[in-house]
Amino acid sequence: MRVAFLMAPEGVEEIELTEPWKAVRDAGWNPQLVSTEPGRVQAYRHLDRAGTHPVDRVLSSHTAESFDALVLPGGVANPDALRTNGPAVDFVREFFASAKPVAAICHAPWTLIEADAVRGRKLTSWPSLATDLRNAGGTWVDEPVHVCRARPATLVTSRKPDDLPAFCAALVQEFGG
């Protein structure tokens, strides 16, 4: 299984990339870092620079066809940049249109809102997104992880780095199921 991890060139919360990446790799799947620009993605630990991570693939038309599932790591700046990038929003939209599973943590549901992928769904996020998600037609819940199996695609969401063990377990379960 090939799993896309979509990120902007900078601003991803590092642990929200590295822990799900490890879970995907430990499941025997192939994680791929997809970004809007070539090179390396600059990760952060809150507001401090952390490591950089090499981009495996740059977004282009039909990129989603190459993957079986999508992970959207958070951080504040990462999804904020992605939601204003047309190809990134289209990429996310393609996963839902193709009924491929998606997982998003922390602030990543901002990108889901822009892709019109939360309407009629129940999901969780960093608490400050609750109103945004409700305004976009979703139902926000305060849970460590929530799995929404509404058609067309399964959506796994989580609130914050402290919830990563539950998030990683749920995404492996849902992606593999």
- What pLDDT, on the 0 to 100 scale, is given for residue 156? 98
Active-site annotation holds for 46: no
The burial of 7, by beta-carbon neighbours within 10 Å (0-12 exposed, 13-18 middle, 19 or more buried), is given as buried
Domain count for the chain, please give it: 1
The residue from 46, 62, 107, 148 that is catalytic is 107
Active-site annotation holds for 107: yes
Q: pTM for the full model?
A: 0.97
Q: State pLDDT tens for residues 15-54.
A: 999 999 999 999 999 999 999 999 999 999 999 999 999 9
Q: Which residues contact 145 (CB under 8 A, 6 or more apart)?
A: 124, 156, 157, 158, 163, 166, 167, 169, 170
Q: Which residues contact 125 (CB under 8 A, 6 or more apart)?
A: 104, 106, 107, 108, 109, 133, 140, 157, 159
CATH number of the domain encompassing residue 129: 3.40.50.880
The residue from 53, 106, 146, 148 that is catalytic is 106
Q: State pLDDT tens for residues 55-99.
A: 999 998 678 999 999 999 999 999 999 999 999 999 999 999 999
Range of the structural domain that residue 25 is part of: 2-176
- The Cα 38–Cα 173 span in angstroms is 31
Q: State pLDDT tens for residues 118-133.
A: 999 999 999 999 999 9
